[in-house]
Amino acid sequence: MPLNIVVGITGGIAAYKAVGVVRALVLEGHDVHVVATDAALRFVGRPTLEAISRNPVHTELYEGVAQVRHVAIGQAADLIVVAPATANTLAKLAAGLADDLLGNTILASTAPLVLAPAMHTEMWQNPATRANVDTLRSRGVHFVGPASGQLTGSDTGPGRMAEPDDIVRAALSVVRRDLAGRRILVTAGGTREPLDPVRFIGNRSSGRQGVALALAAAARGAEVTLLAANLEIEPPHGVRVLHVSTTLELRDAAREAAPHADVVIMAAAVADYRPASIAHGKIKKETQGDELELRLLRNPDILSELSHDRPDGQLVIGFAAETEQDEQALLELGRAKIARKGSDYLVVNRVGWSEGFGTQRNAVTVLDQAGSIVMEASGTKSSVADRILDLLS
């Protein structure tokens, strides 16, 4: 259902990225109204914002007095997103100030408020800013970011505004609770098979895509359990996290949790083989010589087991990471795999030295049981996660 969304833009260098936020919301079919501060228009022009939003840009507190515009815009809003939200903006909102149209719009609205902070690291970490953020959170305000990365000039660190796709997905999830009441099991990361106490056979999965799926599902109202296998990022808040390491540990945890889930999403990269024996002490090259022979045993196929042993009505989504460069050959690998595995959907993505594993972005093709393409998505792993979850609703 189309929403009436207000996008507030304040005076920071990240204001140029707000154009992407407006554009993405419009392309999703929403009615977007931009309320910009005077400082914001020093960074991005009014004609650009009006062309992208397809609506007049509002800036002046004393325009449209007869229509009581300073409160009418906020009263009509289903959602308000402020991107970027500067340190000054956070301070004014925390104090309840309304000395411009954006402040009045927010005070006059009962719609959910989503803020995407953007500022230098020292400003973000300043005790005054942290106190303002805590105050706003306590009032139910939602935050997206900030991310850590390149800032203005040569500075780097936390304070960079989140990417437009991430802002849009997070903001829409605030008003879209379409997975409320669903119990979802997600696996993430990569399993490791120990050779000895210090070495293992593993893969390069960071767990970012699985964590993004868990966070997105929780934001949309689901009760989420995450089976985390050696994540390279912090485990998410707001979901139940169970840590595993090996494929057999993941299998045991998944088989125990899966019967209680409405949806199972197997995003973890699972080792196909494990060592037949594990050394109790560190393997020494002095005793092994120039060659070391390993005997490997095939690991169980967890996705196949869960797909075939599932309770009635459960939906199972698998992942297939492949290095095949030819697009048609990649799809054929996916079609053969979903036929073997028996899952409802298979998310196929290409991985390599510089794509897929360990990166911030992803590109996927989703196949159904018949091998037909039901969805394609690319972008940040957060935006891809939301597109995958759209299949559930």
Domains 4-175 and 183-390 share a fold: yes
- Nearest alpha-carbon partner for 240 in 256, 258, 226: 226
- Band the pLDDT of 393: cuts 50, 70, 90: confident
User: What's the whole-number mean pLDDT along residues 18-44?
Assistant: 92
| pLDDT surpasses 80 at 149 | no
- Could you report the per-residue pLDDT of 117-144, keeping only the tens digit for each? 999 889 999 999 999 999 999 999 999 9
- Could you report the per-residue pLDDT of 356-386, keeping only the tens digit for each? 787 888 999 999 999 999 999 988 888 889 8
Give the active site residues.
Answer: 203
- Nearest alpha-carbon partner for 347 in 209, 254, 166, 168: 209
Specify the CATH number of the domain 183-390: 3.40.50.10300
Domain 4-175: CATH superfamily is: Flavin prenyltransferase-like (3.40.50.1950)
**Residue 58 pLDDT:** 87
- Nearest alpha-carbon partner for 152 in 126, 118, 117, 128: 118
Mean pLDDT of the chain: 92
Selection from 165-169, 202-206, 358-362 with the highest mean pLDDT: 202-206
**Residue 64 pLDDT:** 63
Q: Where are the domains of the chain?
A: 4-175, 183-390
| pLDDT surpasses 60 at 66 | no
User: What's the whole-number mean pLDDT along residues 68-73?
Assistant: 76
| 3-state secondary structure (DSSP) of residue 362 | strand
**Residue 1 pLDDT:** 65
Element (H, E) at 159: strand 156-160
| 3-state secondary structure (DSSP) of residue 94 | helix
